[in-house]
Structure 1
Amino acid sequence: MNGLAWLRQGDAVTQAAAALLLAMSVASWITIFWKAWLMRRAHVDVPRSTAAVWQAPTLAAACEQLRQWDREDLVRPMVDAVIAASAQPPATLGGQGSRAQQLTRVLRNALQASLARLKFGQVLLATVGSTAPFVGLLGTVWGIYHALTGIAGAGQITIERVAGPVGEALIMTAAGLAVAIPAVLAYNVYGRILGNVEADLEGFAHDLRELLADEAATALTAPPGE
């Protein structure tokens, strides 16, 4: 309670630093829980989805299977993009060029969209992890300055009068570390998982392009029965 009383008695800078740390903590924990759910599903679904594609007779049939396995829509957009590329009118810029060039373009765009979804929130975690300690340190330095100024204005200075306010001001440093550490740990853990999933997606896109780059392979994009 004494720390809270010190915070209530602080000026606008101290209270703003505390409010910023609170906002950073709430935002980072929401991101941590959401990305834990997303990364878990992606880590399981991507290998299972790519395996389902290679076991399907055509890409159209693969799309139907991916509705069940690809819950986060990380693999299916690439398959859909390849199918859509085969239907591009030759008169448009998208329909011009070799088959390999068209596949490279559409797969790159679909891959970037999937990776952007996976990477969402990483910047926030990195920002919180790198700046929260400094925000806490700013609150501590400012709090100590005002504490010492108030004690000096009271006249007599003793260690007992200094220790309390200074100790309370140091709470801001501890708060900054408490906000930063979970964000840094989550960023590192999710970054490793994301790297593995990204490698799987890039490998799948490369293999799919190599398979369909030959004009003779366009029959794979036809719906079953045609």
Structure 2
Amino acid sequence: MLIDILAAAGGEPANQFGFLEAMEQGGVIAWSILTVLVIMSVGSFYILITKLLEQNKIISQYKTVRANFWRANSLSEGASKLDKNSAWRQVVDDALAAEAQHSKMTDSLEAHDWMHGSLARSEAAINSKLAGGLPFLATVGATSPFVGLLGTVIGIYRALINIGLAGSASIDKVAGPVGEALIMTAIGLLVAVPAVLAYNWLQSRNKRIAEMLSGFSTDILANITSRGAVKPALATTKAAAPAAAIKAPVSSTATKPTTATTTTAAPKV
């Protein structure tokens, strides 16, 4: 009994098969592979956060464009209401710059094509900036499982060497390298799965922003070629809706007196 109490007071024996122990047995190769996977993971989350903030900024600015830009009397006046470094301001500035070069064109169709090409280049530049960093996510999602698999192969190889040197497959010779191999596989998957999910999510949001830019540039081109006569219907429907709401009660109240007179005239007959 006394021996059991003294053994319990002395604490549990040191664990020789933990994560750090397995990495120490792996040596420089194991730590190098783990470092690469950590760098991939940190880079993936950094790109995810920065791109998400950038996309949210462009989407929130689009609400300002829909609310205030098309209420201006001219494109230059509407551009002054937008942020200087916004993507929407860049599209408007490129359109105004292309319009200023109309006089250098010999044919109206050629001028139209020049403006259309200028807006397309502006859209491509914005979309290219939004796509920056996404190839890194795709690379991490495609290669990190294989990097972890490299650590797995090395761990199993070391386990086989220990078995050959010991002459028997004892658990103390195999557990460390095999545990290291399983850890590397798990870390590789933990790095790859968030990177792939982030890549697909950011890509879908970029497509949505590209559709917004395409529609906005089309409206800009139509407004320029029509000399301000053509604007999106969104700016007029909001003003027309209250007028329709006011007229509706008037027509309904006007019918009530006529029905009342016809009902009172019937008993005299």
Normalised TM-score (structure 1): 0.82
1:80 aligns with 93
1:177 aligns with 189
1:196 aligns with 208
Matched, 1:115 2:127: yes
Partners in 2 of 1:103 and 1:51 — Cα distance? 25
Q: Which amino acid aligns with 1:58?
A: S
**How much does 1:66 deviate?**
0.7
Cα deviation per residue 1:111-159 (whole Å; 9 max; x = unaligned)? 1111112111211111111211111111111111122212321233224
Task: Give the alignment's Cα RMSD to 1 decimal.
Answer: 2.5
Runs of 5+ unmatched residues, structure 1: 219-226
Matched, 1:140 2:152: yes
Matched, 1:39 2:55: yes
Partners in 1 of 2:65 and 2:151 — Cα distance? 49
Runs of 5+ unmatched residues, structure 2: 1-16, 230-269
Contact 2:22/2:176 (CA < 8 Å) preserved in 1?
Answer: no
Larger RCO: 1 or 2 (CA < 8 Å, sep 6+): 1
Matched, 1:53 2:69: yes
Partners in 2 of 1:46 and 1:137 — Cα distance? 45
Of 15, 33, 41, which aligns to 1:17?
33
**How much does 1:217 deviate?**
5.4
Partners in 2 of 1:89 and 1:59 — Cα distance? 16
Q: What SS does the corresponding residue of 1:75 show, helix, strand or coil? A: helix
Partners in 2 of 1:153 and 1:203 — Cα distance? 70
**Structure (1 or 2) with the larger CA radius of gyration:** 2
Normalised TM-score (structure 2): 0.70
Question: Kindly tell me: are residues 96 and 27 of structure 1, through their superposed partners in 2, closer, same or farther at Cα, counting changes over 3 Å?
Answer: farther
Q: Which amino acid aligns with 2:57?
A: R
Partners in 2 of 1:89 and 1:202 — Cα distance? 22
1:186 aligns with 198
Q: What SS does the corresponding residue of 1:65 show, helix, strand or coil? A: coil
**How much does 1:188 deviate?**
1.9
Q: What SS does the corresponding residue of 1:120 show, helix, strand or coil? A: coil
